[in-house]
Structure formats: structure tokens, C-alpha cells
Chains A and B, each alone.
Chain A
Amino acid sequence: MTSSVPVGATFAPDSPLDWSEPLVPGEVVLDERVAPNASWSAVVRKGHVLTIVDVGGNQSGDCLIYNAADTEERYSAPDTLAWQGNAYVRTGTVLRSNLGNPLMTVVGNEIDRQDTIGGACSKESNTLRYGHHVMFHHGCRENFLSEGQKHGLGLRDLVSNLNWFMNVPVEEDGALGIVDGMSAPGKRVAVRAEMDVLVLVSNCPQMNNPCNDFNPTPLRMLVVEP
């Protein structure tokens, strides 16, 4: 069946894909694939470790985290950065809430650094960066709204997010932007839940900057009980 809807792009058929495996050992309690352009969510229990696999390489996975028992407590980029005194997310980074509490900890990371400065793309911000001709494109904010509403979350609950596998350097003069990624097919990040958390992910559909190599590929989500 055909459709006239101008949906987002998906990866070229000859793209190398590496589905990899969990970054930490344990019993696999969840193993799901997130298609290009799509959203995903799950509750990760305290002590469980979520591995996100960058299956096709340099595919941004925009991510928000909430206290599963009280979503008013949610991921806070500024608290995460202020507590560690550093602008980048790496192994050992404690992902903190708006109350300063640890939500998750990065326990494994196969790229130099992860981003939490660049935020999510949206139809609206796309008009600023690229022009009104891309207003019809899909965006991560759309995914967060679609996925979030399944859990009672709305626009008020969207805050500055994490971008797994996205590269946003801050240069000496403050210049900042999304540049070519440092990841590759099969690279992983692993985060351990420090409380029961609700994790929202948008598999970024952006086709106007290098956050997905202009070639949206799948993500694999694996949760293990160590």
C-alpha cells in the first residue's frame, strides 16, 4: 500500500549494521530494537543496566529520564554538569535529577564523550536553524511527546536531554554545535539505574545536521540484571 505522507528518511540498504551485545554481563531482561525515526520507553529497575547500541554508527539517541515513582523528579542536565564540574558526559558521570539525586550512572562508554548540551531537535527549532521549508520534518520533540503521553507526560515535562552518540564540542570562544560523530557501528553506552527510572528515547530523525550521519539507523536497547 502506498502513502503520500512525506515521512523521514531511513538508512541506505548497504549501511553496515552491528547489533552488538550488552556491555555488562548479566541476565537479559529486555531486548528491543528502535527503528529509525521512532521512539521508545521502558522502566529500568534499580540496579539494572541499560545498554544502548549504536547499531549503524553515529545515530543520536535523544534521551530523557524520570523517577518512575514520581515523574516530577526528572533528569537535569545542569545538575548533572554542575555536580561533576564538567560539560561532557563520560564513564562515571552520574546522571542527576532536578533534585540533585542520582537517577543513573554511566558505567560503560565506548566513545570519547557523550552530549547533554545540544538538546533535542524539533519542528520549531528546525525552522530557526534551517528554514521554514523543513517545518514538516519529524523531530525528537515530536517523539518525546508521542512517547511521553503514554506515561502521562507532556510538554511541561520536556527538559534539556541527553544525546547518546552525538558530538557537541564547546570551543574556546564558546562556539558550540553538532559536528561529525565519534561513534561507529556497534559502539555502546551502558547506564545503571540508581532508582527505578522511566527512560524515554527518540531515535533522532534529523536530516539537516550530522547527528545521525544523515543516515538514520536503528538502536538496540538491552537491559540486564547483573
Chain B
Amino acid sequence: MTDTVLNAREDARARGGQTSEWMPYLPASSSPYCPDGVEPSALTWAETVAPGGYTHKVVARGTRIRFDDPTGDACAHVIVYNALEPVERLNVADTLKIPWQAYLDAGHPLLSGDGRVLASIVGDTSGHHDAFCGTTTEAWCLQKYGDAAPEGPFPAGRSLFVKAAAKHGLAPRDLPPSVSFFQGVRVDADGAFEWRGSAGEGKSVELLAELPLLVLVANVPHPLDPRADYVVGPLRVHAWRSKPTGPDDDRFQVTPEAHRAYLNTIDYAEARGL
């Protein structure tokens, strides 16, 4: 009965209190999937992102962000920005060049173009990731799936990033190349990409926010996923309060490049009073 405002209100309110497979959990401490070893009261972000869905959050410096791939079919396309000055953003070229390593793994920093670490990869049970191919465009989905409508069954990663960015006042020109987790690619001797796909179900990746971050996440198939169908699983996201990398952490001086990147990051944070 939705014929009057009163009835419509009753009808709408009766819909509350339910759950779905894909939803944010508020408060975050109520998440049914709190990661092992994490105190639920420390959680600041808990969510299951739908297949073909996206999420975005501003998190404090020192936040630990965990992505879980419960089915082995998630693909987390990620862009991070300095939340205080979003013109500072993920720079994939520097993220590969500075550490002298193309394949993302635990210990790898996600660098901005300003010589600082936006986030450190501090945990990784997958090892199947990609920093070459970015995410999908509408043109890509159209030629692969025959459709690319953002509201339809074959949304492009870029379409989702456009909307996520817009919700923080950012325009399409603010979308740099992204990285993706849980679906891997390798480069052969001739430069050709070899598809490695997923490392299987139950894998996780953990990032540590080294500055206040705006995090954009799109959960769509990797562009080189060889399956003809649009196959992507749910993605879990949990974040909790922790500490940014400092001199007491092994990774602080793991390489001379990382050491100077952390020094630059701390220099910025201290000057801003963070």
C-alpha cells in the first residue's frame, strides 16, 4: 500500500533492516567479515562491493586497508590520491620505475608523481596483480561485450571511476592510470602480456595509507581477462586504524629509493601538522 504518504512511508520503512550480498556495513564494527586479528571496534570501513560495482572513501593517514577476494574472481582496480591535495595522485610509471620492479607485491610502494608514498602494499597473499593495462573503457567493453552502459551488465571500470571521482569533486581529467589487484599479467621476452589470472579464492591484499587518502575502487573484469563472459566476483573492503610507516618499520629502509620516499612523505606530513 503506497497510495498515501503515510502508507508509502510505512512501506519504505518496512524495507529497512535487511541485508544483501553487496552492501556497506555500518557501523564498520558490525561487519560480518571482520578480518582475523583485527579488533572490530578499530574498523573504519567495511563493505562488500558488488560485481561491476565501485566504492570510494577518504581515509586517515595510518589507515590499513584490506581487500579480500572471497571467490577468486574479484578484480580491484584502484586509484589513490592525497586527500588534502588531490592533484597529488597515483603515478603508475613512478610506482614501477622507482622500485625497479614491474610486478606489485608486498613491500611495494604506490608512489605519487610528487616523490612520496601514498600507500604501501603491506600484505599480499595473491601475487597476481597488474600495473600495465589499467582498467576497461566503454570502447573496450563495447568491442568485447557488445555493451558498455554504466547502468547495465557490462560497465567499464572507467565509467565507475568517473562517477566515484565526481563524488569528490574530481573530473575525468583527474583519472590517471590505475593498478589492479587479484588478476595477474606478466610480460614475456617480446613484450607480449601473458595472462596469469587469479591466484584463487580467499586471497587478500593490504595497503597502508601513508597520507590522508582518497581511495577509488572499481570491481570489474581485467581488460585482458580471456573469458568471453563478463565474470567478476564480489570484493570485500575493510579498513582500520593503524600507524603509518616510520623509522621502526623494516620497510622504512628496505631500499635507498623507498627510504627517501618515506622521508619525503614524513616531511610533508610533519610540515602540515598531520
Secondary structure class of chain A's binding surface, majority of residues: loop
Given A78-B134, A176-B102, A87-B193 contact (CB < 8 Å): yes
A85, B192: Cβ atoms closer than 8 Å: yes
C-beta contact mask, A178-192 vs B, less than 8 Å → 1, else 0? 100000000000000
Contact A72 B132 (CB under 8 A): no
Surface stretch bound by A, among B65-73, B86-94, B231-239: B86-94
Q: A79-B134, A124-B264, A128-B115 are in contact. Are A157 and B173 (CB under 8 A)?
A: yes
A79 to B158, CA, bound (A): 11
Verify if B140 is at the interface (C-beta below 8 Å from A): yes
Beta-carbon contacts under 8 Å, B75-96 to A: 87, 91-94, 96
Contact with A along B153-180 (1 / 0, CB 8 A): 0000010000000000001111111100
Chain B residues, CB < 8 A from A72? 171-173
Judge whether A214 is part of the interface by a CB distance below 8 angstroms.
no
Cβ–Cβ contact A82 & B134, under 8 A: yes
A85 lies within 8 A of B193 (CB): yes
Hey, which chain A residues are within 8 Å of B133, CB to CB?
78, 81-82
Q: Are A122 and B113 in contact (CB under 8 A)?
A: yes
**Contact flags (1/0) for B105-137 with A, using CB distance below 8 Å?**
000000101111000000000000000111101
Most buried by B among A100, A101, A159, A168: A100
Q: Which of A85, A118, A172 has the largest count of B CB atoms less than 10 A from its CB?
A: A85
Interface centre among B101, B187, B223 (most CB of A within 10 A): B187
Q: Is the CB of B94 within 8 A of A119?
A: yes
**A118 nearest CB across to chain B (Å):** 5
Taken together as a complex, chains A and B put the C-alpha atoms of A198 and B93 apart, in Å, by: 22
Among B114, B116, B175, B257, contact of A98 (Cβ-Cβ < 8 Å): B175
Interface size range on A against B: 35 or more
- Does residue B206 face the partner (Cβ distance < 8 Å to A)? no
By a CB distance below 8 angstroms, the chain A residues around B193 are 81-82, 85-87
Residues from chain A with Cβ under 8 Å of B113 in the complex:
122, 124-125, 141, 155, 158
Report the minimal beta-carbon distance from B156 to chain A, rounded to whole angstroms: 9
User: Are A156 and B115 CB-contacts (below 8 A) given A81-B132, A117-B132, A172-B189?
Assistant: no
What mask results when residues 98 to 117 of chain A are scored 1 for a CB within 8 Å of chain B, else 0?
11110000000000010001
**Assembly CA distance A113 to B190 (angstroms):** 10
* Structural contact, B139 and A128, CB atoms closer than 8 A: no
B56 close to chain A: CB less than 8 A: no
Residues of chain B with a CB closer than 8 A to A113's CB: 191
Per the bound structure, the CA–CA distance linking A77 and B134 in Å amounts to: 8
Contact of B177 among A76, A87, A120 (CB under 8 A): A76
Contacts of B98 in A (CB 8 A): 125, 128-129
Give the CA-CA distance A178 to B178 in the complex, in Å.
Answer: 22
| Given A127-B264, A170-B191, 20 further pairs, Cβ under 8 A | A71-B173, A72-B172, A78-B132, A82-B224, A88-B190, A99-B138, A100-B138, A101-B139, A119-B93, A119-B97, A124-B113, A124-B114, A124-B116, A128-B111, A132-B260, A170-B102, A174-B103, A175-B100, A176-B102, A177-B97
The chain B residues found within 8 Å of chain A, CB to CB, are 87, 91-94, 96-98, 100-103, 111, 113-116, 132-135, 137-140, 158, 171-178, 186-187, 189-193, 223-224, 257, 260-261, 264
Mark A residues whose CB is within 8 Å of B.
Answer: 71-72, 74, 76-79, 81-83, 85-88, 98-101, 113, 117-120, 122-129, 131-132, 141, 154-161, 168, 170, 172-178
